[in-house]
Amino acid sequence: MDDTPEPEPARTLLGLQTMTPRQQLRAGRLPRRLTQLFVGLTVFGLSMAMLIRGGLGMIPWDVFHYGVASHVPLTFGTVAIITALVVLLLWIPLREVPGLGTIANAVWVGVAVDVFLALLSAPDGLLARIGLMVGGIVLNAVATALYIGAQFGPGPRDGLMTGLARRLPVSMRVIRTAIEVVVVLVGWLLGGVVGIGTVLFALSIGPLTQLFLPPLVVRVDPPSSPTPRQARET
């Protein structure tokens, strides 16, 4: 009789599973999850456009995107897509595996933000600008919870953060802060807009996402652990 204890199931956070791309597609509730993924990514693009048009400070990575876009003949969204694809290349030495949501995030958000930038104009009044800033921050948290809750993998920048956290002897919070300080500084030097909105976003996006995430996580079947033979054949 084999007395070897069964391996404990992987711990999950709020029902979020760690899955390969194949497992993501086989986990069930696919129409609901795909719809939620692309709604979330679209709303994410809208939130970015709102903060840009508000003119009171951008999302840290958008400070970088805006700074680069002001020096090249490319749209803001195109720069965001190229940046995301470059970040994905950094996943290779970190041995991170992108999911469907990762690739969709890299492309769809950039397209969405260009569309909404064309539809939104910068308001004149301070109250309207504050409204765009606050609304953009809240919508960004909702959008983040939507696409993470769809369980198709992290975005390119999120994966860079988690990949570094697994391999460096520092906390994820320190790594995220360091990455965002660098991109904000470089973006600001290139002409990106840093303001009160940037600070408020940095301080509030974590708590707001944590608030919206639990009801938006789509429960799926946990991935089964492959046998050694299956692992060799994969």
Higher pLDDT, 174 or 120: 120
For residue range 142-155, what is the model confidence (pLDDT) as tens digits?
999 999 889 898 88
- Identify the CA nearest to 58 among candidates 160, 210, 183, 143: 183
Confidence (pTM): 0.83
Residues 195-225: tens digit of each pLDDT:
999 999 988 888 898 889 889 999 887 666 5
CA–CA gap between residue 178 and residue 180 (Å, rounded): 6
Burial 57-83 (b: 16+ CB within 10 A, else e): bbbbbbbbbbbbbeeeeebbbbbbbbb
Average pLDDT over residues 113-127: 94
Per domain, the residue ranges of the chain are 28-218
Q: pLDDT tens-digit profile of 27-71?
A: 888 999 999 999 999 999 999 999 999 999 999 999 999 999 999
Task: Work out the end-to-end distance of the chain between its first and last CA atoms, rounded to an integer number of angstroms.
Answer: 29
**Cβ contact 56:195 at 8 Å:** yes
Q: Contact, 40 vs 150, CB < 8 A?
A: yes
82-109 pLDDT tens trace: 999 999 998 888 888 888 889 999 999 9
Give the pLDDT of residue 128.
95
